[in-house]
Amino acid sequence: MIQKCPHCKTDVIFSRNICPACGHPSRDEERGEATYLGEAKTDGRPVYNQVMETQMTARQRNGRIVTGLICGAIPAPLLAYSAVSLFWLRPDWLVLLGTMYAAWLAYHLWYGRPWARWLGAGSTLLAGCAGLFEAVVVLRSEVAMNAVQIMAYVVFSLVYLWCAGQLARSPDVKEFLVYQFKHTPDF
């Protein structure tokens, strides 16, 4: 847990009753609440997490983490597939278009566009169901099975279904996206 040392007044992670910054012993009752500002108060550097710690609620901060995971998880499988196909000089143009769509969607989702939340939920739900369907089709086919392909379909389908569930139902994600939309200029 990050706390403020009563002796050196720095925010440190206490694992025992000794401050890792100054070496003085301090009990848990003596330590203060961390401000997360560190030396930035005195040397003029911007403090990037100050707004997050002072203006966002705990639910919004949690939604920020989940939204970040979703924004990374949506384009990841398509980006990996595109990289491999480009390496083998056999680009699949439909997958490249899907990668650009996923990156565009993740960008607008991160900036809290209300339509991006529902478009993302629908797209990831559709992609997750299609991936599971494709895994079943590959399993039932008479052609030799590719275990890596089946595993990729199942794993990425489950990730997409999780993303759809979080976008559609999570109050934390909803609160963060509302906060982000209010604090992002129009473009």
Under 8 Å CB-to-CB from 26, ≥6 apart: which residues? 5, 6, 7, 14, 17, 18, 19
Residue 149 sits in which domain range? 57-182
* Mean pLDDT (whole number) for 49-73: 84
Total domains in the fold of the chain: 2
Tell me the percentage of the chain whose pLDDT exceeds 70: 87
Q: Decide if pLDDT at 106 tops 80.
A: yes
103 with 160, same domain: the answer is yes
85 with 35, same domain: the answer is no
Q: Decide if pLDDT at 177 tops 90.
A: yes
In a domain, 114, yes or no: yes
Encode pLDDT of 83-103 as tens digits: 888 888 888 888 889 999 999
In a domain, 187, yes or no: no
62 with 31, same domain: the answer is no
24 with 65, same domain: the answer is no
* Mean pLDDT (whole number) for 152-173: 95
Q: Is the pTM of this model over 0.85?
A: no
